[in-house]
Amino acid sequence: MQKITPFLWFDNNAEEAVNFYTSVFKDSKIKKAVRYDEESSKAAGRPEGMVMTMEFEIEGQRFAAINGGPYFKFTEAVSFVVNCESQEEINYYWEKLSEGGDKKAQQCGWLKDKFGLSWQIVPAMLPELLNGKDKEKSKKVMSALLQMKKIDIANLEKAYKEQ
């Protein structure tokens, strides 16, 4: 069993969010859904039959979601990084996760999905470029990265190769 599980709080659309996330990531599945019964619905003020909690898995990482009401919202203080092997993969996750979300994309691969959750879509090789032995090349990569919203691997590699 996974020792630590990220737990995501939604107002009333946890089931929709979980269905969305498991449709975006190919290696994912819904593990379990617990619905509000008569007693718990009265205690929580939520409709009977609505999803209370869901357990799901994405790329081997377990998550939990709750329909807990409008009391808490997502902020950029917590986000998920998606490490991508190719520009095609970056483009795929960028398009899918930003669909219906905050269209004001952030710097350096950050985006906010339609549920308000923040994601950073990055190339897996980014740490190597930013922490290379040649500090001048790494500075050029950082400078290029800071100009990007959706990350462009070819432009990062170009910046690294510049003399």
Q: Which tokens go with 87?
A: 């520009």
Task: Give mean pLDDT, residues 124-142.
Answer: 92
**Residue whose C-alpha is closest to residue 112's, from 123, 126, 98, 94:** 98
Indicate the residue among 45, 72, 99 that finishes a domain.
72
pTM for the full predicted model: 0.91
* 107 and 64 housed in the same domain: no
Spatial distance between the Cα atoms of 33 and 7, rounded to a whole number of angstroms = 14
Task: Give mean pLDDT, residues 117-144.
Answer: 93
* 29 and 95 housed in the same domain: no
* 82 and 64 housed in the same domain: no
Spatial distance between the Cα atoms of 83 and 97, rounded to a whole number of angstroms = 14
CATH code of the domain in which 33 resides: 3.10.180.10
**Domain count of the fold of the chain:** 2
Q: What is the mean pLDDT of the chain?
A: 94
pLDDT in the model for residue 163: 64
Give the helix, strand, coil percentages of the chain, each rounded to 5: 35, 25, 40
* 80 and 160 housed in the same domain: yes
* 8 and 56 housed in the same domain: yes
Q: Which tokens go with 3?
A: 């020792």
Contact 90, 79 (CB under 8 A): no
* 88 and 140 housed in the same domain: yes
Q: How confident is the model at residue 124 (pLDDT cuts 50, 70, 90)?
A: very high
* 65 and 81 housed in the same domain: no
* 55 and 95 housed in the same domain: no
Distant-in-sequence, close-in-space partners of 152: CB < 8 Å, separation ≥ 6: 87
Structural domain that includes position 121: 74-163
* 120 and 155 housed in the same domain: yes
Q: How confident is the model at residue 64 (pLDDT cuts 50, 70, 90)?
A: very high
* 48 and 90 housed in the same domain: no
Indicate the residue among 72, 90, 124 that finishes a domain.
72
* 118 and 132 housed in the same domain: yes
Q: Which tokens go with 46?
A: 């939520």
pLDDT at 66 over 80: yes
Indicate the residue among 72, 90, 114 that finishes a domain.
72
Question: By mean pLDDT, which of 33-47, 97-111, 132-146, 147-161 is the weakest?
Answer: 97-111
